[in-house]
């Protein structure tokens, strides 16, 4: 008995040591992001963002290996695993990241235990350690009270205390524009109350070439979210590019189609709690994910999913839209997500491993706000009674190797989950004329912004894009994604003879990476209403020369700027309103390096 108890304690300590090593590396990654930003080393920032995604799985593998080689698993009967969990909970009493440590415990157990152990006696189906009032020392956010020193001086101190090691182009000019923007937002009737204050998170949010200060204005209990993007000019000098107000603008920064932020957080739950005050409708699962803690996002999502199943009665159904050749998609109408599986019977000659690599490529790449992020899950149980008969029949027909039927439960061995959108082809069938113009312009913008990040979508059909609730067009079909730099963009050569024109086969050679942009119109522009809009705004997408120019720019390390906010709100448009501002705006962020411009680089 004592030996089993000692072993349970040792295993709990080994798992927590594995987590602590993971989170130390995670924080070091974010700390490096700050120094790389100050050095304008955009290559390094993108490398940091990519490598961090694999940190978690590597540490889980290390912990599993340590337990498998260091302990006698035959002595760990079911009751002893419950002891491991109890000792682990005790170790988390004063921990600063207990919710993340619980998820790490679950990940290790999932590698060591059979699925029958996956309930709250053995793993953390429910959290065991509360984080409601957990905070760091010093606290996660700074509070400033402008009534004492005035708003300009308060803002100046707020920027100084960020501790950035770069000079500003003209901080006084930028702060005047911030004060003016705040005054305009609050309006002439604004009267400061006794609780008038500014709260800002202690550390900056880094992504690509941008650093974001995230905060809130509080007056008489009313909360106004704000964010200030801080960029660099071509000489490495900083400037405040704008100030964004309101939940909608802040949610755009944290959109699921953008790259994860790099943020140094001692207590991530405190950051999430702060962000929830800015974006009350944003699920914690998405906030954790956008902070780079995508495994915790998965845990939070699955808890939300289980809770929703208890409080709803509708059935999972096949998702609306044209069925995919590779992926099967279903949804629960009362829940704003879709579930995607890789079919066994695919109408394209691509392997399951290749498709998984495509999804991983997108996850580790800069998604520039135009490619949907996904959570990847294994062994997900669904109650059969909640599956529509037609969906159940289709799953059994198209993906039998992924299914395990366990009494009243259907377990799907592998699937992806992402935010639900309206397929663009369906949107165009039922939208108004104004909505059609907006959607087609958005579609072309989405493609051009993906190209700016070295992504060629491959299959550009309307059905492979979705419309979000904010009206943005986002790409979500990845089996034909390729790097722009790997493609060969060509014009179709003229026919040599009349017979060439009439031939069923092309009269010219076609290489494996050849792309003929002028063919896009054949598949996309059958509707004359759509064609007119497309040609007015994005006709250059049908020209090989456009793609060749973009390809050459990417190869040379030059990227178009893609901002997570409208060009119209940037302070550079208001410099002429400031009598002390220079006649010309400071240069745009340096295009050097393979990173795209300051943006929430998804």
Determine the Cα–Cα distance for residues 493 and 213; give it in Å rounded to an integer.
52
CA distances from residue 551 to 132, 466, 570 in whole angstroms, order as listed: 49, 26, 28
| Long-range pairs, 34-39, Cβ under 8 A, ≥24 | 34/203, 34/204, 34/206, 34/211, 34/264, 37/206, 37/209, 37/211, 38/164, 38/165, 38/166
Q: Is 373 a catalytic site residue?
A: yes
Grouping H, G, I as helix, E, B as strand and the rest as coil, residue 589 is coil
Block residue for tokens 């929430």: 600
Grouping H, G, I as helix, E, B as strand and the rest as coil, residue 475 is strand
Sign of CA dihedral 12, 15, 18, 23: negative
Block residue for tokens 């059609």: 436
**Torsion (CA) 410, 411, 412, 416 in degrees, nearest 10:** 100
Judge whether 362 and 478 are in contact, CB under 8 Å.
yes
Determine the Cα–Cα distance for residues 226 and 213; give it in Å rounded to an integer.
8
Can you give 305-349 as a three-state secondary structure string?
A: HHHHHHCCCCCEEECCCCCCCCEEEEECCCCCEEEEEECCCCCCC
Residue 260 DSSP symbol: P
- Give backbone dihedrals phi and psi of 292, rounded to 5 degrees, phi first: 90, 0
Around Cβ 2, how many Cβ atoms within 10 Å? Answer: 6
Determine the Cα–Cα distance for residues 491 and 517; give it in Å rounded to an integer.
7
Any bridge partners for residue 317, and if so which? 331
Residue 101 DSSP symbol: H
Q: Which of 373, 454, 477, 479 is catalytic?
A: 373
Determine the Cα–Cα distance for residues 266 and 97; give it in Å rounded to an integer.
8
Determine the Cα–Cα distance for residues 142 and 118; give it in Å rounded to an integer.
41
Determine the Cα–Cα distance for residues 307 and 288; give it in Å rounded to an integer.
18
Tokens standing for residue 557: 């390390």
Q: For 510-551, where are the E strands, in sequence order? A: 514-515
Q: Give, for 214, the enclosing helix (H) or strand (E).
A: strand 210-219
Tokens standing for residue 478: 């990845």
Q: Is the peptide bond before 78 cis (omega within 30 degrees of 0)?
A: no
Tokens standing for residue 21: 């090593």
Cα angle 484-489-491, degrees, rounded to a multiple of 5: 160
Residue ranges of alpha helices (H) inside 338-432 are 352-364, 389-398, 424-430
Block residue for tokens 């590698």: 111
- Give backbone dihedrals phi and psi of 236, rounded to 5 degrees, phi first: 75, 15
Grouping H, G, I as helix, E, B as strand and the rest as coil, residue 227 is strand
Phi-psi sector, 141: left (phi>0), alpha (psi -120 to 50), beta: beta
- Which residues belong to the active site? 373
């Amino acid at each position: 008995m004592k030996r089993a108890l000692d072993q349970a304690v040792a295993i709990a300590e080994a798992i927590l040591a594995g987590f602590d090593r993971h989170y130390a590396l995670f924080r070091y990654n974010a700390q490096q992001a700050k120094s790389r930003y100050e050095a304008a080393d955009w290559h390094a920032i993108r490398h940091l963002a990519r490598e961090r995604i694999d940190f978690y799985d590597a540490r889980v593998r290390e912990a599993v290996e340590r337990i498998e080689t260091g302990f006698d698993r035959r002595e760990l009967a079911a009751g002893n695993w419950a002891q491991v969990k109890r000792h682990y909970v005790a170790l988390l009493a004063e921990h600063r990241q207990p919710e993340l440590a619980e998820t790490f415990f679950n990940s290790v157990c999932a590698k060591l235990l059979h699925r029958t152990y996956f309930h709250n006696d053995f793993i953390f189906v429910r959290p065991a350690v509360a984080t409601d009032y957990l905070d760091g020392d010093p606290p996660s956010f700074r509070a400033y009270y402008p009534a004492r020193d005035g708003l300009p001086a308060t803002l100046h101190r707020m920027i100084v205390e960020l501790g950035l090691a770069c000079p500003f182009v003209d901080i006084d000019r930028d702060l005047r524009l911030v004060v003016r923007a705040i005054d305009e937002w609050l309006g002439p009737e604004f009267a400061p109350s006794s609780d008038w204050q500014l709260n800002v998170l202690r550390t900056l949010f880094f992504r690509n070439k941008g650093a974001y200060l995230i905060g809130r204005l509080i007056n008489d209990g009313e909360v106004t979210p704000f964010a200030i993007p801080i960029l660099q000019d071509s000489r490495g000098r900083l400037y405040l590019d704008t100030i964004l107000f309101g939940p909608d603008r802040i949610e755009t920064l944290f959109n699921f189609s953008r790259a994860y932020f790099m943020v140094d957080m001692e207590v991530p739950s405190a950051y999430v709690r702060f962000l929830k005050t800015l974006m009350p409708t944003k699920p914690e699962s998405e906030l954790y994910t956008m902070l780079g803690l995508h495994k915790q996002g998965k845990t939070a999502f699955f808890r939300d999913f289980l809770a929703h199943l208890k409080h709803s009665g509708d059935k999972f159904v096949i998702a609306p839209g044209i069925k995919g050749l590779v992926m099967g998609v279903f949804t629960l109408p009362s829940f704003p997500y879709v579930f995607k599986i890789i079919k066994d019977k695919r109408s394209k000659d691509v392997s399951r491993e290749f498709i998984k690599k495509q999804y991983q490529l997108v996850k580790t790449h800069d998604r520039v706000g135009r490619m949907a992020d996904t959570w990847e899950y294994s062994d997900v149980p669904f109650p059969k009674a909640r599956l529509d008969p037609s969906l159940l029949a289709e799953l059994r027909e198209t993906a039998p190797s992924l299914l395990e039927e366990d009494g009243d439960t259907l377990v799907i061995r592998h699937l992806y989950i992402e935010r639900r959108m309206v397929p663009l082809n369906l949107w165009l069938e039922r939208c108004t004329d104004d909505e059609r113009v907006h959607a087609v312009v958005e579609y072309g913008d989405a493609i051009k912004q993906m190209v700016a990040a070295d992504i060629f979508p491959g299959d550009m059909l309307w059905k492979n894009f979705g419309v979000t609730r904010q009206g943005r067009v986002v790409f979500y079909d990845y089996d034909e994604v390729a790097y722009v730099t790997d493609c060969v963009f060509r014009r179709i050569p003229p026919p040599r003879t009349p017979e060439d024109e009439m031939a069923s086969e092309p009269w010219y050679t076609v290489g494996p990476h050849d792309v003929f942009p002028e063919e896009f119109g054949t598949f996309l522009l059958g509707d004359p209403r759509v064609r007119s809009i497309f040609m007015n705004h994005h006709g250059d997408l049908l020209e090989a020369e456009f793609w060749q120019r973009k390809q050459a720019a990417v190869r040379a390390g030059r990227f178009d700027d893609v901002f997570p906010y409208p060009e119209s709100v940037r302070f550079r448009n208001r410099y002429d309103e400031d009598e002390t501002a220079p006649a010309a705006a400071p240069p745009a962020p340096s295009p050097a390096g393979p990173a795209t411009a300051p943006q929430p680089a998804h």
